[in-house]
Structure 1
Amino acid sequence: MFLLIANEPSNYQRIVLDSHFFSYSDGTLSCESLKLDELARQYGTPLFVTSRQSLISQYRAFEEAFAALPHFTCYSVKANFNLEVIRTLAAEGCGCDVNSGGELYRALKAGVPAEKIIMAGVGKTEEEIEYGLNSGVMMIKAESTAELKAINRVAARLGKVAQVGVRVTPNVTAETHPYITTGDSKEKFGIDEAGLAEVFDLFKALTNLELHGLDMHIGSQIFDPEYYVAATQKLLEVLESARHLGFDIKWLDLGGGFPATYDPQKPATPITKFAEKLIPMLDDKGVTVIFEPGRFIAANSSVLVTKILYRKKNHAGKEFFIVDAGMTELIRPALYQSHHEVLTVKQHDKSVVADVVGPVCESSDFFVRHRTIGDAPEGELLAVLSSGAYGAVMGTNYNGRRRPAEVMVDGSEAKLIRRRETYEQLVQNEI
């Protein structure tokens, strides 16, 4: 989604989104047909601005890539759980992957039919399991024998038979940040291959469970399709074993983790490359393949607009842009050392090398360090790109910060999809 344009007047490379959704128009960065500075004047800053058409475009690109495969796509709600984001994708026919009772509530509130929702999570409470069963979700995915027993207890109490999937740990360690790898037996997720015989025996003993799905998830931001090939091969071996034991496996869930471009110097592998590898492995297996893209759909659908409060230079000559957004709005740089491009909303001929930092009382509160950026004055706006996934959803009220407003743009229309928090709301649940 990124395009590098060289030889700008300031003789440095300026990066813009190569799409119809975010681009410079008359020298001002816009979302679809609306200028970001006009949105900031109307709704204030910090402000998340989401392109509705970007969400739809990414979802359709995913569906087109895997069109030859019997499959069902469940958007991973944890990436961005704003109700309007979920509604937009649900209107396209997308299901949802939820990881808690709260995410299930959001998906249902957004109008997603329960039979299009799969419920995951390594630590579901019995209350959450009951909520899922009573709602009629498509499948509950279990990650331990202890959880299987808990699901069986709850289902028996409710007089139901739970449709269950088992998350298998394929022991494939993909090359990604260690905090977002999930397919290795050293991590907390899933059931190791060595424990599957016990799992299959347990299903035969627990009368309120039916095993209909096998699941895996090897991590996030996986650029090399061969990791999916290796993990899928292991899951297919488990499928063969389960069928040999008489289990009717309907769903094979390959999870998510498909990459999005954050750094234009490291573009994401096209989704078609994954499809080319996976479709031949899966198209004759007699199952519906489930995918759970989240970041792939949402990451580049949003930017975080923030105002430059102060410019500061220390005695060593180091320059800072101090802005009104920080790690409380987008924690990824502090948490994962992740890369985000930062652009001036107004284009500038001159540039400076600076850190862009927030107001939070932590040294890790920064968006970029020692980065070339347009020479914008105090009071102007910056846009932190690729903020649509794991941005607002991971926000906090640390330092008494109020959660920002969120706006969705559709062509020339803007819709407020989350109000800015008030000071009163910060304390409304305290006694």
Structure 2
Amino acid sequence: MQRNESNQYHIQGLSPEKLVQEFESPLYVYDAGTIRQKVGELQSAFQAVDLKIKYACKANTNLSILRLMRELGVELDVVSPGEMQMGVLAGYTTSQITFTPSGVPFSEVKQAVDAGAIVNLDSLPLLEWFGQTYGATKPCMIRIKPNVAAGGNEKIMTAHADSKFGISVLLLDSILDIVNRYDIKVIGLHQHTGSDIKDAAPFLKVADILFDAAKHFKDLQIIDLGGGFKVSYKPGDGITDMKLLGSKISERFQKFCQAYGKPLQLWFEPGKFLVSESGYLLTTVTVVKEDPARNFVHIDSGLNHLIRPMMYGSYHHILNTSNPSGPEKHYNVVGYICETDTFASDRVLPEVRQNDILAFMNAGAYGITMSSNYNARFRPAEVLVDHGQASLIKRRETLEDLLRTQMGL
């Protein structure tokens, strides 16, 4: 979100107040230009290798976002049959979709394989079942757990020894035994370290572990290093140096390919990195409560729309777009859910008044996809702003939507 010459905030020339007036509050807004910028940043950082970007669409599955990714040449990584079907509806072929489940029923894996998607196998029992079911007739990838702890929060670390994700690299002999017994065609090795990783060192460490394991597989076409790049959450916040990371990873990958004896494709599966900074949750202030202990700002939203602060303790920068030049005060910004749903504690904001619009930054990833109907509240509408035009890409829910699946009405 930028400021114009009058010091007012806007998204491609459209003010939050105008957007709320047209589409109501609360409202999710996505800036297509930011998504294009982030895709280009990743492509530029890894231009020295054969790169494929697989958008981890659990971050945001709106069909318009998926279609934009497809137009940009970005393929999909999904974690459920539902996400796979949404990808198909957005115009992807199943061959452009990778299914990376975690402990799902084997019937879901069969559904994905039979549809033509590439699957990432994340357990020895699943690998054994795959070999018994398909032998050498279908390709697959294997998700390796490198036993490296990295990430911005213990809840979003996915590669350490205690993580549920992937098959431990310490079980490599068991993996190879099953692969050789059934002549399984393993075309790729995959790992995902976690999220919000700023420094290059963890990426390089897990890459070396994966490269070392890859020497034991004869049919590889792909090395998939997952995602987890750090995005900026507040002014001046440190981010992953993509240019430096791209240079270092590319150099190591090229050396690995030379040693392996053929060129391979390098995959990344960013989710938050591609869409987080594009998104804003626009809310309206309902009550400003001045309390002896704390000033509270109540808004017309809650953890049912943006659960990350309560679930992860995540920081979302908040802008008072209605009064950007007001005197600064300290506030607790809280929601309307009958729970403690605190978005921000002791946050310094320009003076907040009833009916002001507060914009939550970094709301493009894991906002609407993790939302709920708790307290029988409706999910907000979603709007995509592209080339200065705002388009409704998902309408606001109604009571009819909440009751649609209930019986006995």
Distance 2:194 2:237 in 1: 18
Matched, 1:329 2:305: yes
1:130/1:154 contact within 8 Å kept: no
**Selected match of 1:419 from 383, 395, 400:** 395
1:45/1:305 contact within 8 Å kept: yes
Alignment of 1:396-415 (within 5 A): 396-415=372-391
Per the alignment, residue 190 of structure 1 pairs with 166
Distance 1:45 1:293 in 2: 29
* Matched residue SS, 2:235: coil
One-letter amino acid of the structure 1 residue matched with residue 233 of structure 2: Y
2:297/2:352 contact within 8 Å kept: no
* Matched residue SS, 1:304: strand
**Aligned residues: percent identity?**
29
Per the alignment, residue 86 of structure 1 pairs with 66
Cα distance, 1:153 vs. partner? 5.2
* Matched residue SS, 2:40: helix
Matched, 1:100 2:76: no
Cα distance, 1:348 vs. partner? 2.9
- Name which of structure 1's ranges 28-37 and 125-134 shifts more when overlaid on structure 2: 125-134
Per the alignment, residue 230 of structure 2 pairs with 259
For residues 51-101 of structure 1, the C-alpha deviation after alignment (integer angstroms, 9 at most, x for no partner) is 011111110111011011112110110111111111101101110111111
The change in CA–CA distance for 1:26 and 1:127 in structure 2 (over 3 A counts) is: farther
Per the alignment, residue 148 of structure 1 pairs with 127
2:321/2:357 contact within 8 Å kept: yes
One-letter amino acid of the structure 1 residue matched with residue 101 of structure 2: G
One-letter amino acid of the structure 1 residue matched with residue 74 of structure 2: C
**Selected match of 1:307 from 260, 284, 298:** 284
Distance 1:129 1:110 in 2: 21
One-letter amino acid of the structure 2 residue matched with residue 254 of structure 1: L
- Runs of 4+ aligned residues of structure 1 deviating over 6 Å after TM superposition are none
Per the alignment, residue 260 of structure 2 pairs with none
Alignment of 1:3-42 (within 5 A): 17=1, 22-24=2-4, 26-42=6-22
Per the alignment, residue 251 of structure 2 pairs with 280
1:214/1:253 contact within 8 Å kept: yes
Structure 1 vs Structure 2 CA RMSD: 1.5
The number of residues matched between the two structures is 400
Cα distance, 1:287 vs. partner? 1.2
Per the alignment, residue 315 of structure 2 pairs with 339
Cα distance, 1:122 vs. partner? 1.1
One-letter amino acid of the structure 2 residue matched with residue 37 of structure 1: E
1:70/1:283 contact within 8 Å kept: no
Alignment of 1:115-264 (within 5 A): 115-137=95-117, 139-152=118-131, 155=134, 161-206=137-182, 209-242=184-217, 247-264=218-235
Cα distance, 1:231 vs. partner? 0.7
Distance 1:322 1:307 in 2: 9
One-letter amino acid of the structure 2 residue matched with residue 228 of structure 1: F
One-letter amino acid of the structure 2 residue matched with residue 212 of structure 1: I
Per the alignment, residue 291 of structure 1 pairs with 268
- Name which of structure 1's ranges 45-54 and 107-116 shifts more when overlaid on structure 2: 107-116
* Matched residue SS, 1:194: helix
Cα distance, 1:315 vs. partner? 2.8
Distance 1:151 1:104 in 2: 19
Cα distance, 1:210 vs. partner? 1.5
Cα distance, 1:133 vs. partner? 1.7
* Matched residue SS, 1:283: helix
Per the alignment, residue 9 of structure 1 pairs with none
Cα distance, 1:134 vs. partner? 2.6
Distance 1:82 1:61 in 2: 22
> Which runs of 5 or more residues in structure 2 are unaligned?
258-262
**Selected match of 2:240 from 269, 280, 283:** 269
One-letter amino acid of the structure 1 residue matched with residue 66 of structure 2: I
Distance 2:378 2:134 in 1: 40
Distance 1:81 1:369 in 2: 30
> Which runs of 5 or more residues in structure 1 are unaligned?
1-16
Distance 2:214 2:3 in 1: 46
Distance 2:18 2:5 in 1: 13
For residues 154-210 of structure 1, the C-alpha deviation after alignment (integer angstroms, 9 at most, x for no partner) is 547xxx922111111111111520000011121101111221111111122225x42
- The normalised TM-score by structure 2 is 0.94
Distance 2:364 2:26 in 1: 14
For residues 373-425 of structure 1, the C-alpha deviation after alignment (integer angstroms, 9 at most, x for no partner) is 11131012110011111111110111111111000001221111111110111
Per the alignment, residue 350 of structure 1 pairs with 327
* Matched residue SS, 2:215: helix
Matched, 1:392 2:365: no
Distance 2:221 2:339 in 1: 49
1:78/1:393 contact within 8 Å kept: yes
**Selected match of 1:43 from 12, 15, 23:** 23
1:34/1:411 contact within 8 Å kept: no
One-letter amino acid of the structure 1 residue matched with residue 92 of structure 2: V
